[in-house]
Amino acid sequence: MARIKTIGILTSGGDAPGMNAAIRAVTRAGIFNGFTIKAIYRGFDGLISGHVKPFTTENVSGIIGQGGTILKTARSKAFMTEEGRQKAYDNLIKEGIDALIVIGGNGSLTGAMTFAKEYDFCCIGLPGTIDNDLYGTDNTIGYDTTLNTIMECVDRIRDTAQSHERIFFIEVMGRDAGFLAQNSAIASGAEAAIIPEDSTDVDQLSRFMERGIRKSKKSCIVIVSESPKCGAMYYSERVKNEFPNFDVRVTILGHLQRGGRPSARDRIIASRMGVGAVEALIQGQRNIMVGVRNNEVVYVPLSEAIRSDKPFDMKLIKVLDELSI
Ligand code: F6P
């Protein structure tokens, strides 16, 4: 295998706080270890159109505390086509890039894996997504900041919920995973969370209402995982119809959850993962995602990282249930 000299780096999919810290870490660790770094703008779309720029340490000065991604990002449809991937490969060869570091979520790392197999190209993934749904890493870059953002929002909504003695359904992101919903509910002292992982036959809303939460509390907050059919609006309509005595409101937090300055924890894992990615290339690793598990940097095959069954600790449901009486 030829020695890697030039590393390409891009961010892809939904932006996540801490992506900039990861870009900085890859750039600085790469240069420290003698690699040339080339930044690719607008994710895989930028790779296809050839939007590539050499990076020096100065290009990443002062970005560790910034949310979003300085490289911009995209959900590339073109990269899903063979033609698009061929153009991407041609541009990598033209730019002399021998290895590609992709910072993104499930869809982005799936794209990286397909490409790596198709062109026998060295790809390394960094888990950059607020959803925390990548297998093999305890936390993804952006998850902790978003959890804190949701917690602050819920603390504020609690003031008005208590004042008016209302039920609030607060919808949070997470795509198909309930990590954000369940843990933000625990962190903010919410009365319940409705999450996709809790798929028992018992209807989650009925179970919550039947617990008689309103007997001891005058207001309550239910965090709901986003879902095309059963989001916060769905549950609020049901309460209006099935329990008309309650005064109900809905807040959909939306994209404000994705912005903001990354937490210390996200900056640190992003920095460790970025350094770990360069170290992986030095070791000759290919087609892996860098994770942090039990506080150790680990390398997980991309095919495993994108598994859809990241373990969800069901004991968290009991924690919330017992603490919300
Ligand atoms: O994957 C990150 C995420 O924020 C999900 O939680 C959410 O479902 C989705 O992206 C929203 O995507 P977009 O910004 O494209 O609307």
Please indicate whether residue 130, judged by its CB atom, sits closer than 6 Å to ligand 1: yes
Domain ranges within the chain, ordered by starting residue:
6-142+262-307, 143-259
Whether 27 has a binding-site annotation, put simply, is yes
Q: In this structure, are residues 264 and 148 in contact, taking their beta carbons and an 8 Å threshold? A: no
Which range, of 16-20, 217-221, 244-248, 281-285, averages the lowest pLDDT? Answer: 217-221
With a 6 A CB cut-off, is 108 part of the ligand 1 pocket?
A: no
Q: In the prediction, which pLDDT does 215 show?
A: 56
Query: Is 85 annotated as contributing to ligand binding?
Result: no
Q: Is 272 annotated as a binding residue?
A: no
Q: Report whether pLDDT(286) > 80.
A: yes
Cβ atoms within 10 Å, residue 265: 16
Rounded to an integer, the average pLDDT of 209-234 is: 83
Ligand 1 closest atom vs CA 258: 4
Contact 15, 73 (CB under 8 A): yes
Establish whether residue 68 lines the binding site of ligand 1, counting it when its CB lies within 6 angstroms of any ligand atom: no
State which of 130, 172, 227 you would mutate to test the pocket of ligand 1, scoring each by most atoms of that ligand within 8 A of its C-beta.
130
pLDDT at 227: 94
Residues 197-224 have a mean pLDDT of 76
The CATH superfamily of 143-259 is Phosphofructokinase domain (3.40.50.460)
Query: In the predicted model, what is the mean pLDDT of the chain?
Result: 95
Tell me if residue 131 is catalytic: yes
Q: Which residue lies with its CA nearest to atom 13 of ligand 1? A: 14
pLDDT of amino acid 142: 98
The response to whether residue 278 sits with its C-beta less than 6 Å from ligand 1 reads no
Q: Exposed, middle or buried: residue 138 (CB in 10 Å: 0-12, 13-18, 19+)? A: middle
Q: 233 a known binding residue?
A: no
Question: What φ, ψ does residue 89 adopt, rounded to 5°?
Answer: -65, -45
Asked if residue 128 has its Cβ within 6 Å of ligand 1, the reply is no
Q: Phi and psi for 46 in degrees, rounded to 5?
A: -70, -30
Residue with the larger pLDDT of the pair 212 and 85: 85
Ligand 1 near 142 CB (within 6 A): no
pLDDT in tens, 13-55: 999 999 999 999 999 999 999 999 999 999 999 999 999 999 9
pLDDT-based confidence at residue 245 (cuts at 50, 70, 90):
confident
Checking if the pLDDT of 214 tops 60, the result is: no
Percent of the chain past pLDDT 70, that is, above it, reads: 96
Gap from CA of 175 to ligand 1 centroid (Å): 7
The one catalytic residue among 98, 131, 144, 198: 131
CA-to-CA distance for 172 and 129, rounded, in angstroms? 14
71-88 residue pLDDT tens = 999 999 999 999 999 999
Q: Is the pLDDT of residue 218 over 80?
A: no
Q: How far apart are the C-alpha atoms of 244 and 224, rounded to whole Å?
A: 20
pLDDT at 325: 84
Select the CATH number that applies to the domain covering 6-142+262-307 from these four: 3.40.50.450, 3.40.50.300, 3.40.50.2300, 3.40.50.150.
Answer: 3.40.50.450
- For residue 271, pLDDT beyond 80: yes
Q: Do the two domains 6-142+262-307 and 143-259 of this chain adopt the same fold?
A: yes
How many angstroms does the Cα of residue 113 sit away from the middle of ligand 1?
Answer: 21
pLDDT at position 200 is: 67
Closest-CA residue, ligand 1 atom 10, reads 14
Residue 211 in marked binding region: no
Residue nearest to atom 12 of ligand 1 (CA): 14
Pairing status of strand 192-194 against strand 99-104: unpaired
Give the CA count within 13 Å in the CB-facing half-sphere of 252.
12
